[in-house]
Amino acid sequence: MQFTTKIPIEKCQHTISYDSKIVSLGSCFAANMDEKFQYYKFQNVTNPFGIIFNPVSLEIVVHRIVNKITFSEEDIFFHNEAWHCYEVHSELSHPDKDQFLENLNSILEVTHAQITATTHCIVTLGTAWVYRNNALDKIVANCHKVPQKQFTKEILSIKTIEKSIQSIIALIQKVNPNCHFIFTVSPVRHIKDGFVENTLSKSHLISAIHSINQQLTISNYFPSYEIMMDELRDYRFYAEDMLHPNSIAINYIWQRFKETIIDEKVFEIMDEVETIQKALAHKPFNPLSTNHVKFVKNTQQKISTLQLKLPTIKF
């Protein structure tokens, strides 16, 4: 695709390669990027505690991970026949209390080790709008369908977002001083907050990130939101809900990410991986035919050859 408007993006100083260990945290757009990392067989972990949209809740969970503060009965509650935690996504909720706590603390232990070893932490912020639980006086990551009257909706100030970003960086550097950070703002618009309110929210996030980036040399900004709004400013790049980017948009944003964040030296390997992935996805008309048996053998040979160069790659 050719576009008349193309946002200039500064090349990342610490590019991602197949030796990199990536931890992606934050909004749902991180899952779109995760699919690409998984497809091309990078070493990547995304949102171990589920999608977290706002920076304060992200800071809370990173604080728990880094300091290995285990979850206890005080951190969970029972609602609608399941146990939940306000710090994590509802996909982790469980009907059995003991199993729920065991799952949370197992994820905590694994994620701590991943954070300690990661080379790149990609943080995707989704919204500055948050819900504060009135009884706890605490901002939550997920309301878990608890009645809305128990929460107060508010918007985070730029200063508060800056403090959360600074805290996330400082916490991770505490256990991993060599980690490099890539910040981005999700291109998904939160229209349920309102059109004007969404713009206000995104502007708070972008302003805070840019303020931090001006002070640090260990972080980069990748303009996912701006690419969607300015380079892909047409509804043909949206899914049916007219809010989420469709596959064409995701592929385009990934290509821009690849150009600026991924080391050019691994492009050839990415092409090899893609060739193998397409071969593995091929559905033969006759699986027992001579041609297909030869095709499978040839594909397996390509996998073996690639794995000799990069043992971390698994198909």
pLDDT tens per residue across span 211-247: 998 888 889 999 999 999 999 988 899 999 989 999 9
What does the pLDDT read at residue 6?
86
Q: Are 184 and 124 in contact (CB under 8 A)?
A: yes
Question: Residue 4's pLDDT is what?
Answer: 56
Structure tokens at 101: 């706590």
Q: What is the pLDDT of residue 55?
A: 98
Handedness of CA 225, 228, 231, 233 (dihedral sign): negative
- Is 42 within 8 Å of 16 (Cβ atoms)? yes
Report helix, strand or coil for 122.
Answer: strand
| Rounded (10°) angle between helices 29-39 and 247-261 | 70
* pLDDT confidence band for 13 (50 / 70 / 90): confident
Q: What pLDDT, on the 0 to 100 scale, is given for residue 249?
A: 95
Model confidence at 3: pLDDT above 70: no
Confidence of residue 28 (pLDDT cuts 50, 70, 90): confident
Q: Where are the beta strands (DSSP E) in 88-244?
A: 120-125, 129-133, 138-140, 151-155, 180-185, 219-221
Per-residue pLDDT tens digits for 163-220: 999 999 999 999 999 999 999 999 999 888 899 999 999 999 999 999 998 888 889 9
Give the pLDDT confidence score for residue 16 in this predicted structure.
97
CB contact at 8 A, 189 and 127: no
CB proximity list for 92: less than 8 A, separation 6 or greater: 49, 50, 85, 100, 103, 104, 107
Share of the chain above pLDDT 90, in %: 88
Q: Are 292 and 312 in contact (CB under 8 A)?
A: no
Q: Which residues of 172-196 are buried (b: 16+ CB within 10 A; e: fewer)?
A: beebbeebbbbbbbbbbbbeebeee
What gap in Å lies between CA 28 and CA 33, rounded to an integer?
9
| 41 backbone φψ class: left, alpha, beta (φ>0; ψ -120 to 50) | left
- Angle, CA of 184, 210 and 8, to the nearest 5°: 70
**Cα–Cα distance measured from residue 253 to residue 185, given in angstroms and rounded to the nearest whole number:** 12
CA distance 185 to 203: 10
pTM of the predicted model as reported, rounded to 2 decimal places: 0.94
Share of the chain above pLDDT 70, in %: 99
Q: What is the pLDDT of residues 41-90, one digit of tens each?
A: 999 999 999 999 999 999 999 999 999 999 999 999 999 999 999 999 99
Tokens matching residue 99 = 């199993």
Among 2-16, 75-89, 227-241, 292-306, the minimum mean pLDDT is found in: 2-16
pLDDT digits (tens, 9 = 90+) for 219-229: 999 999 999 99
